[in-house]
A and B are shown apart, each in its own frame.
Chain A
Amino acid sequence: MIDLLSQLAAWLTSSGQWAGPEGIAQRLLEHVQYSFLSTIVAALIALPIGLFIGHTGRGAFFAINISGFGRALPTVGVVTLVFLASGLSMTPVYVSLIALAIPVIVTNTYAGMIAIEADTKDAARGMGMTGLQSLWRVEIPLAAPLIMTGLRLAAVQVISTATIAAYVSFGGLGRYIFDGLAQRDLTQVLGGAVLVAGLAVTVDLILAGVNRVLFRHRLT
């Protein structure tokens, strides 16, 4: 165990490991790129859905249960299926990562929206705001912390799952896990795992920090 840890330390700190087109820096960049794009696209799809359901109250059953469905959906199965349907491209990776992120964002957005007191919404209407004005100027700002939490959870899950890009022969940090597995090189697998976990935790902390700064004034 100690032996493995010292090998891991050597692997992570050797400068040759970091540089070049197959170096850690490049893999890290690819991993961030896949995860960022997937989370953004998922947010563009999921936010309007969550806001619509939260604002109108229509489809609440869907908003509550889709997160369970998302959790139950086996990512390996989805990526394999889309791969068989679409062939060798990044499509399977993006489809499965987006599918993973959408439910989390929908459910949290909805949760943020229904936590708003009816009195507040009534007051907005009473002041003469239209539905859209109330949504934009009252409801979204109030729901923002929970919406951000949803984005954060989604981002972390996407980062730790983006290793599947390597499963369909693309890059990212998953490369080390799949290559290490094929070469029976445990140090490399462990190195990949530590990098992915490190990236996920870092992004989580950054987003938590952003959350705290943005919503500092309303900490109750």
Chain B
Amino acid sequence: MTIEWQWLSTHTDDLWALSLDHLSTAIPAVLLGLLIALPLAVVAHRIRPLRGVLLGLSNIMFTVPSLALFVILLPITGLTRTTAITGLTIYTLVVLLRNTVEGLDSVPAKVREASLAMGRGRVGTLLKVELPLALPVIMAGVRVASVMTISLVSVASYIGYGGIGQLFTDGFQRNFPTPVIAGVVLTLLLALAADALLVLVQWLCTPWIRKGARA
């Protein structure tokens, strides 16, 4: 199996466009997942009996094969990017929900009580004390979810929004390995870049951890 470098050099524009297309499915999926997971996790954290139900439900959804999930969503959202994003969002929940609940669990009860005793309300305590302290664990979840989503987008090429996944279908149909290799490498690079970026975001968002480390 040989790589035709020629093909790569004549298709850089396509590869770039597909990568952007890939990200425009992956990024909204993770953001939407976070938007859904945060309030659900707060509920699961506060109301014990709901925790098992929510985590169990997201675990079950995770076992549904991705291709089937996209197809099942088709009658509801049609052949649109929304279908791809919705399906991927459902998969992110398993990681985001679990990590956010664990992150909130990791905040010592004394810290929470101190904040309440100082007169910060429940909402204020949640937003200004609990969530920031839970951030490292939540961000670990966001990193895992992002990498996973970037790798999964390819499956959505069956409904026309697979981004880089198009290279796999293309190579498969033409019996031509070069685009497939390019697609695998590109997916890995995007995942690596996203992960590095999120590490940076976390570093910027948690100055108190950096100060703690230096002291």
From A80, A174, A177, A196, contact of B63 by CB (8 A): A196
Digitize B29-53: 1 where CB-to-A-CB distance is under 8 Å, 0 elsewhere. 0000000000000000000000000
Contact at B184–A78, with CB atoms within 8 Å? yes
B37 CB → nearest A CB, Å: 18
Q: What is the bound-complex CA distance between A177 and B150, given in angstroms?
A: 22
Contact at B67–A177, with CB atoms within 8 Å? yes
The count of A-to-B residue pairs whose CB atoms sit within 8 angstroms is: 116
Contact of A72 with B64 at beta-carbon distance under 8 Å, contacts A80-B180, A186-B72, A186-B75 already known: no
Contact at A177–B177, with CB atoms within 8 Å? no
B84 within 8 A of A: no
> Closest chain B residue to A77 by CB distance?
B184
Helix, strand, loop or mixed for chain A's interface?
A: helix
Residues of B within 8 A of A189 (CB): 68, 71-72
- Range class of the A interface residue count: 35 or more
Q: What is the bound-complex CA distance between A178 and B155, given in angstroms?
A: 13
Contact at B65–A81, with CB atoms within 8 Å? no
A192 within 8 A of B: yes
Contact at B63–A72, with CB atoms within 8 Å? no
B187 within 8 A of A: yes
B181 within 8 A of A: yes
B161 within 8 A of A: no
Which of A56-64, A122-130, A155-163 lies at the binding interface?
A: A155-163
Listed in ascending order, the chain A residues whose CB lies under 8 Å from chain B are: 4, 68-69, 71-78, 80-81, 83-85, 156, 159-161, 163, 174, 177-178, 180-181, 186, 189-190, 192-193, 196-197, 200-201, 204
26 example contacts (A-B, Cβ-Cβ < 8 A) are as follows A68-B191, A71-B147, A71-B148, A72-B150, A72-B191, A72-B192, A73-B188, A74-B154, A74-B165, A77-B165, A77-B167, A80-B172, A81-B180, A83-B172, A84-B1, A84-B175, A84-B180, A85-B1, A178-B67, A180-B71, A181-B158, A189-B72, A192-B65, A196-B63, A196-B64, A201-B60
